[in-house]
Amino acid sequence: LCVVTHDKRYAEMAKRKVYLLDGQILGQTRLEHQGMF
């Protein structure tokens, strides 16, 4: 997911996918996203 998060388009898609998989993972991804940007 790290590589996918680099792209904005894929980042949004990954977020949706993660959200569907598990809300907990979504929170972690959001934190990483904020830290990167």
Predicted pLDDT at 22: 57
pLDDT digits (tens, 9 = 90+) for 1-37: 455 455 677 677 666 665 555 556 556 666 665 665 4
How far is the C-alpha of 19 from the C-alpha of 7, rounded, in Å? 18
Q: Which amino acid is at 6?
A: H
- In this structure, the number of other CB atoms found within 10 A of the CB of residue 37 comes to 8
Q: 5 near 14, Cβ under 8 Å? A: yes
Would you mind telling me the total number of residues written for the chain in this entry?
37
pLDDT at residue 30, as a whole number: 64
